[in-house]
Amino acid sequence: MADQSHDAVEVITTKRDGGALSTGQIEWVVDAYTRGAVADEQMSALAMAILLNGMERREIAEWTAAMIASGERMDFSSLSRPTADKHSTGGVGDKITLPLAPLVAACGVAVPQLSGRGLGHTGGTLDKLESIPGWRATLSNAEMMAQLEDVGAVICAAGDGLAPADKKLYALRDVTGTVEAVPLIASSIMSKKIAEGTGALVLDVKVGSGAFMKDLAKARELAEVMVALGTDAGVRTVALLTDMSVPLGLTAGNAIEVAESVEVLAGGGPADVVELTLALAREMLVAAGVTDVDPADRLADGSAMDAWKRMIRAQGGDPDAPLPVARESHVVTAPADGVLTRLDAMAVGVAAWRLGAGRARKEDPVQAGAGVVWHARPGDAVTAGSPLFTLLTDEPARFDRAMAALDGGWEVAAGGSSYEPGALVLDRIS
């Protein structure tokens, strides 16, 4: 039980004036906010003070612990295999969880992936999977345990009992301009992952125009804080910093990202999606103590695909059913012969979102078939009149605003101009 000798104004003014919050202040304010005894306007002021004045590592660790203590903690220690999870800070075309979870399961490590729905320009894993006919996101804890033991991979919605303080605070941050505070992002992500009970965790911290963190230094700071929080909580945690200036793969949407993931599981798919899936799989296996399996072999021999089909069927989905297709499409063609020299992740993400693949408010529905397909990646040669983008939606009125989002987000330079591809994995923090 948190010490009751505090009040909201005293906690806010401590942080407003640049002070460090005491253990008692942190435990009290997180508990009181979750119970409704601290008002939204008071927590908004505190979140803004944290954004402006920061937090020491001790404060972040205690804030995270208080958010974990606000709800239940899951425990997978009774499973017959080790567990590892992955969390991405969110990117455009980031469908990596879909091939990754069954791949790692096929290598003998269980993946308990509690996911969210997308808000804004980055898509949500559950939205993508819900485009598969019959698939359901909600599982009881007992169903989750049984599926982890049997199939080895679960991707499902986090229940209301997990870090409820974060659920409330994240919704508030979203409407008060306080999402981008490193202490708040780190504690939000890590409270959920630690409460989820995974033994090992690999973080994919995105850097670039399509990510929360636009520059490498800020992304590295976030990764270091999260790795320290996980490690101190007994979770073997590693972070990769990966590029999100260009969107991943060739698709951003829901059903179209599922189709691309299935291509990867079938041994094909875009090279960058395969590279990142394998890099994260290798990190997860090592963090879980499995060093004698190469995930590339499990992709090649079809066992990752088998695990995918079993994972989808276990949650009511039909992995062989046709995926939904958008009713309308519009093709944008290359204006001249040349090389695609720029493709901006944010522009593509906003276009997909405006086509109906994402939502503006939590309660909005998403369109399963909507999104953007790009037919070239930076460095590829294009010819005048060849398709560059296909825009997909059920509502043609959305095309204009999606095209406005893409405007200025790509560039075709005259033939002969050179393009230098950057690395996908920029750094590793452990």
Which of 88, 115, 187, 188 is the catalytic position? Answer: 188
Binding mask 72-101 for ligand URA (x = CB under 6 A): -----------------x------------
**225 in contact with ligand URA (CB under 6 A):** no
**308 in contact with ligand URA (CB under 6 A):** no
Considering only the stretches 33-41, 64-72, 180-188, 306-314, report the one whose residues sit in contact with ligand URA under the rule CB under 6 A: 180-188
**34 in contact with ligand URA (CB under 6 A):** no
Considering only the stretches 43-51, 181-189, 330-338, 382-390, report the one whose residues sit in contact with ligand URA under the rule CB under 6 A: 181-189
Give me 81's structure tokens. 């295999």
User: Is 166 among the catalytic positions?
Assistant: yes
Considering only the stretches 23-31, 140-148, 183-191, 222-230, report the one whose residues sit in contact with ligand URA under the rule CB under 6 A: 183-191
3-state class of 98 per DSSP?
Answer: helix
β-strands 338-343, 381-382 pairing: antiparallel
Question: 77 - beta bridge partners?
Answer: none
β-strands 387-393, 371-374 pairing: antiparallel
β-strands 371-374, 425-429 pairing: unpaired
**429 in contact with ligand URA (CB under 6 A):** no
How many angstroms separate the first and last alpha carbons of the chain? 34
Considering only the stretches 76-84, 127-135, 184-192, 263-271, report the one whose residues sit in contact with ligand URA under the rule CB under 6 A: 184-192
Q: Which of 427, 409, 418, 419 is nearest to 245 (CA)?
A: 409
Report which residue's Cβ sits closest to ligand URA.
188
Provide, rounded to whole angstroms, the least separation between the CB of residue 115 and ligand URA: 10
**64 in contact with ligand URA (CB under 6 A):** no
SS3 content of the chain, % helix, strand, coil (to 5): 45, 15, 40
d(CA 262, CA 72): 34
CB 222 within 8 A of CB 337: no
**The one among 28, 63, 170, 308 contacting ligand URA by CB under 6 A:** 170
Q: Which of 293, 263, 267 is nearest to 281 (CA)?
A: 293
**189 in contact with ligand URA (CB under 6 A):** yes
Q: Which of 235, 222, 228 is nearest to 287 (CA)?
A: 235
DSSP 211: S
Which of 31, 127, 166, 204 is the catalytic position? Answer: 166
Q: What residue type is 236 in one-letter code? A: R
Which is closer to ligand URA, CB of 222 or CB of 326? Answer: 222
**48 in contact with ligand URA (CB under 6 A):** no
Provide, rounded to whole angstroms, the least separation between the CB of residue 349 and ligand URA: 15
User: Is 173 among the catalytic positions?
Assistant: yes
Which is closer to ligand URA, CB of 173 or CB of 298? Answer: 173
Considering only the stretches 12-20, 97-105, 178-186, 254-262, report the one whose residues sit in contact with ligand URA under the rule CB under 6 A: 178-186
**185 in contact with ligand URA (CB under 6 A):** yes
User: Is 188 among the catalytic positions?
Assistant: yes
**The one among 147, 188, 237, 254 contacting ligand URA by CB under 6 A:** 188
Which of 128, 192, 193, 236 is the catalytic position? Answer: 192
d(CA 200, CA 211): 24
Q: Which of 215, 214, 273 is nearest to 93 (CA)?
A: 273
CB 327 within 8 A of CB 342: no
Q: Which of 240, 237, 263, 239 is nearest to 250 (CA)?
A: 263
Catalytic residues: 87, 166, 173, 188, 192
**Chain positions contacting ligand URA, by CB under 6 A:** 89, 170, 179, 184-185, 188-189
